Structure 1
Amino acid sequence: MEIRIARPEDTAAVAEVHIAARNTYYDGHVDAAVLDRRAAELRGIYRDIPERFNRKLWCAEVDGEVAGMALTGPPMNWLGPWVGQLHQIHVHPNHWRKGVGTALHETCVEAWREAGVTVGVLEVWSSNDRAQSFYESHGWRPDGHTRPGPGDTTYVRLRRTII
């Protein structure tokens, strides 16, 4: 497995990883038509993410195929220059439970350390037990902030000290 900054030619594969993962965890919770519309949007968004939003787009490559991705950058809500946000980690469902997410996570945390970031934040969908478990096992804890999610759910903000 190789973890690296995504290149422009990776962005289509990165978008497909994101779409496959989110369609799996939203299955049965979000209308298929809504997922399809968002998938079309994501395919366009990923072409411009790193340059347009001052973020780092990471990818995990396994056997020449993009199997996972992570996106880091400044927090959506200004929390200070020492805070970084893990906007997302997505692993293609065919690669779940194979260490791809952990490798991406470790790379993001190490990049933050090198940049002087001391606090990380992220948001996780309240109905995504798999993701919540993953982040908890890597030291993330809820900080009390939530925002509305699909239907009657929320997104929960998690926080972690970077040491």
Structure 2
Amino acid sequence: MHRVRKAETGDGKRIAEIQVGGWQSAYRGIIPDDYLNALNPEKRVTFWSQQADNESSDLFVTILGATVTGFCHLIPSRDDDGTGVAEIAAIYVDPCAWRQGCGRQLCEAAFEAARRRGASSVTLWVLEANLLGRSFYEAIGFRTDGSTKSEERPGFLLEEVRYRIDPSKREQDVTGDGH
């Protein structure tokens, strides 16, 4: 059984590996292969190691035994209309651990942290074409709020939609079945 804990500085390398692996698995067919194949986790290790100690955000990991299997990064919203809002800036699970409850556990930890911080809602941005991710977010109660954005990358455009949830209305355990 996977369990959730706060990330530690030493988790940075594994978090970076999961992020790159998540992009390469989830976004294949959405983002050009040459871009995905060029992603390098080593370029992200320092950032993730620093985020484990960042007091203005919360970084959670799921672990199985001693192995980090997923992570979720909750920050104050970066959006213009985000005053008092928390944002899940990144959530990825090692593809080997998909469909084992890690994503739900990470979201619940993020919801609890958002409640503690007094956030009125939690948002996240997801690629419009990422139907698997969107289905997961909707299953645990997120709903689109009508906001969209485009981010230009070398040779392609990322089209994103924003999802939102009220963390104060979430039960302690995310079941995904509406209860």
TM-score normalised by structure 1 residue count? 0.89
**Secondary structure class of the residue paired with 1:47:** helix
Aligned to 1:83: 85
Aligned to 2:103: 101
* Closer, same or farther: CA 36–49 of 1 in aligned 2, 3 Å: farther
* Closer, same or farther: CA 142–127 of 1 in aligned 2, 3 Å: same
* Closer, same or farther: CA 36–43 of 1 in aligned 2, 3 Å: farther
C-alpha separation in 1, matches of 2:37 and 2:147: 29
- Matched-pair contact (CA < 8 Å) for 1:127–1:153: no
* Closer, same or farther: CA 5–135 of 1 in aligned 2, 3 Å: same
Bigger shift: 95-104 or 148-157? 148-157
Q: C-alpha displacement at 1:54, in angstroms?
A: 2.9
Q: C-alpha displacement at 1:29, in angstroms?
A: 2.8
Root-mean-square deviation (CA, aligned residues, Å) is 2.0
**Secondary structure class of the residue paired with 2:78:** coil
C-alpha separation in 2, matches of 1:131 and 1:67: 17
**How many residues are paired up?**
163
> Which is helix-richer, 1 or 2?
1
> Is 1:159 matched up with 2:164?
yes
Q: C-alpha displacement at 1:102, in angstroms?
A: 0.5
- Matched-pair contact (CA < 8 Å) for 1:14–1:66: yes
Bigger shift: 55-64 or 145-154? 145-154
Aligned to 2:114: 112
Q: C-alpha displacement at 1:33, in angstroms?
A: 3.4
Bigger shift: 147-156 or 70-79? 147-156
Q: C-alpha displacement at 1:51, in angstroms?
A: 4.7
C-alpha separation in 2, matches of 1:59 and 1:77: 25
Bigger shift: 45-54 or 4-13? 45-54
Matched ranges for 1:3-152 at <5 A: 3-40=4-41, 41-51=43-53, 54-149=56-151, 151=156
- Matched-pair contact (CA < 8 Å) for 1:67–1:95: yes
Q: Quick one: percent identity of the two aligned structures? A: 26
C-alpha separation in 1, matches of 2:65 and 2:25: 23
